[in-house]
Structure 1
Amino acid sequence: MTQAVVENQHIRLRETVPEDLDWVMATEGHPDNRDYVYNWSQERHLACIASEDEKHFMVTLVEDDRPVGYVILSGLTSEHQVISFDRITVAEKGRGYGRQTVRLIKQLCFESYKCHRLWLDVFDFNPQARRLYESEGFVFEGTLRECKKKGDDFLSMHVLSMLDREYREWTPVDDFATER
C-alpha cells in the first residue's frame, strides 16, 4: 500500500502508481462514467503520474485500501496559486465517496498546497455533479459554451471555483454517516 496523502475516517487519497492504471482505465471507461470524463490512454495517465504540475490520486477505503475512485489535479506549479480539479471518477455511486473525496481535495489543496483558487469545470448535462460541487461551497462562475468536442458534438462546460477565504469560512452541512 502506498502512503496516504490525506484521509478521513472512511477514505484516503494516495498517489496513483502504474499498477493502479488497469483499474483507473476500466473505471473511466465504465458506462456510468465514460460520458462525463475524457478517456485517457495509459501513456497519458503515466505522464500525469510522473508530472510535477499534475497529481494523480487513488481514492481508497481506509479499512482495506480497496479503490473506489481516482482524482486528477493540475496547476500545482502555478505561480498564481491556482489549482485545477481536473477529474474525479467514483466507481461506487451513492455511498458518499464523491462528497468525501471533494472535501479531502479541498483540504489538500488549501491546507497542504496553499492554493488561493481551486476551480473545476463540469459538463452542462451533469446537474448532479454541479449540485454536489455547489453544496460543497464551490461558486458557479459561468458557462463555456460548446468549448469541448467529443465525437461530432460540441459540449458546454460550467465553471465553478472556490477561493481560500471561502474554504476557511465554509462549514459542512452533513456528515458521511447521514449520506449512506
Structure 2
Amino acid sequence: MALHLRGTGTAEHDFVLSAESDPEAADFILPRSRHEHERALDDPDQAHLLVADDDRPVGFVLLAGILDKNRSIEMRRIVVSPPGKGLGRPALPLVLDHAFGALGAHKSFVSLAVMSILAPEWAARRLKKSD
C-alpha cells in the first residue's frame, strides 16, 4: 500500500459521494451534496484532497481555514473507503503533514488524544519538536 494525497477532481465526485453515504460512515458524518463538494473545490479557503493508493481513490479529506491569518487549519472531514480496513491510520499523518508542511499551518483542529491513538509515531515526533 502506497498512500498519497492529491487534489480531488470533478471526476472523483462519485467516489466521494459514495464514500460519504456508506452506512458505516454514517455514525461519524452527515453526507454532503454534490453541490457542497463542488463549492469546496472552488473555495480558496478549503483544500479538498483525495487519499489514493497508487491511482485508486480510498478516501478524501476536507481542510478549511487555508487562508486563516493565524494559519490555523481545521480538518473538517476525513472519510476512508472501505471503513475498518486500516486506511485511516496511515492517511491521517499524510493529511497533517500536508497541512503543516505544504499549507504552512501552525495549528490544526485535531486533538493530541486522537492523534496518539490513530498515529502515535507522528504525535510523538510533533511533541518532541515542540519541547
Instruction: Give the TM-score taking structure 1 as reference length.
Output: 0.62
Match of 1:29 among 21, 24, 34: 21
Structure-to-structure mapping, 1:99-178, within 5 angstroms: 99-120=89-110, 132-135=114-117, 136=119, 167=126, 169=128
Match of 2:75 among 68, 85, 90: 85
Q: 1 CA distance for matches of 2:105 and 2:79?
A: 22
Higher helix proportion: 2
Q: 2 CA distance for matches of 1:53 and 1:77?
A: 5
Cα deviation, 1:47-92, whole Å, max 9, x if unaligned, reads 0011100011111112xx1111111000000001100011110112
| Count of paired positions | 125
Q: Is the 8 A contact 1:73 1:86 kept in 2?
A: yes
AA matched with 1:133: M
Higher strand proportion: 1
Alignment root-mean-square deviation, CA: 2.3
Range that drifts further, 70-79 or 17-26 = 17-26
5+ residue gaps, structure 1, are: 1-8, 122-129, 138-161, 171-180
AA matched with 1:112: A
Identity %: 26
Q: 2 CA distance for matches of 1:131 and 1:168?
A: 12
AA matched with 1:116: H
1:75 and 2:65 are equivalent in the alignment? yes
SS in structure 1 at match of 2:74: strand
C-alpha displacement of 1:22: 0.9
Alignment-derived partner of residue 158 in structure 1: none
5+ residue gaps, structure 2, are: none
1:50 and 2:77 are equivalent in the alignment? no
Higher RCO, 1 vs 2 (CA within 8 Å, ≥6 residues apart): 2
C-alpha displacement of 1:131: 6.5
